[in-house]
Amino acid sequence: MTSFSDNGLYSEELGVGVRAVHMACLLCQRLQNDLVLKRNEHVSSKDDNSPVTIADWSVQATVSWVLSEAFGSDNVSIVAEEDVQVLSKSSATGLLEAVVKTVNTCLAEAPQFGLKAPGSALGPKEVLEAIGRCNSTGGDTGRFWVLDPVDGTLGFVRGDQYAVALALIEDGEVVLGVLGCPNYPMRKELLNYHNGSSPPSDTGDKGCVMYARRGIHRSWMQPLLRGEERFVWPNSARQIQVSPIDDPELATFCEPVEKANSSHSFTAGLAHSVGLRNKPLRVYSMVKYAAIARGDAEIFMKFARAGYKEKIWDHAAAVVIIEEAGGLVTDAGGHRLDFSKGIYLEGLDRGIIACAGSKLHETLITAVDASWNSSSL
């Protein structure tokens, strides 16, 4: 069995992307333990009132710096969630200092991952430049990266599930995806299907990075480093595949924890109509997608409330990982998600359905068509 150590198309980009996300996951683990859970003073708010922490900006700066160092800043275009407006305010001096310190601590570990560390510590200006460099608006031509530095920030703040997501898009097509899940257990039996919580911290068995490259028909998972371990590419990775279950009565479906941008009532009605009997896995972030890619669940359904527009960074990395692991991700009309229209998934037909296999997918598409007109979405 071959792995991503070959020299195929996008192999270099994938190798750097996996390393950058792995570093970012370790950064987030430290922050979740040392900052958010214990002191909680470095939690700010975006314009839409969703919480944002040092982790968001630190991950974005770190990944931006690593990609620019590896491929040249003139060759790297990044679509990302965060901007520098809050950090640039005079009132945010303390927050910026914390971000700069966190970024430098993370980048100092770069040699452990076979990457070059900065010759000297980055200053506030350099960190702001790295964050601000992520100002691409995407589109249907050329190459750009898509980064969600902390997907599921509420999960992060609450000590629950969250993800770091990085994808590369070329001419509107997602060609590789990397999904870091710092709290996701390596063993299925440690995942609590009732609330999606992480395993007890003393198990020493949580945290992974999943990744895939378009056209290889394989997806991979690597455990996060423990202690003084060094990153080994790709010897510690193992192949992952979607579940073979195609009977709705045996399938587990995922849905968002928060109800603000998703209708639990509609997905519950769909689940009942097709015969899904297992309790849903309600979990923050793209960890829902990770569960399907790894075979821990079979279905993810999301139907946004009127007026909400899905953003590409919430889906791009995970879609290619599921598809290369043998699954399907489409809108509710059965069309592939379109990542070529900018930062939003324009033209989305009603909602998103991800499945482990075509039989379950067809069942759900049919059920949506039968139920949609009677819904209030």
Annotated binding-site ranges for Mg(2+): 81, 148, 151, 314
Sheet with 281-282, strands from edge to edge, namely: 281-282, 253-255, 299-302, 352-355, 328-331
Active-site residue 83, yes or no? no
> End-to-end distance of the chain based on CA atoms, in angstroms?
46
Nearest Cα to 316, choosing from 155, 141, 78, 134? 78
**Owner of token pair 């699954």:** 327
C-alpha distances out from residue 258 to 22, 273, 339, Å: 27, 23, 24
Q: And the tokens for 295?
A: 């075979």
Q: Is 325 exposed, middle or buried (0-12, 13-18, 19+ CB in 10 A)?
A: buried
Q: Which of 102, 153, 252, 267 is catalytic?
A: 153
Q: What are the beta bridge partners of residue 151?
A: 163
Tokens encoding 164: 């770091």
Active-site hit among 56, 160, 296, 331: 56
In the chain, the amino acid numbered 347 is G
Residue 71, token pair as written in the block: 């491929």
Active site residue 153: yes
Q: Which residues are catalytic?
A: 56, 153
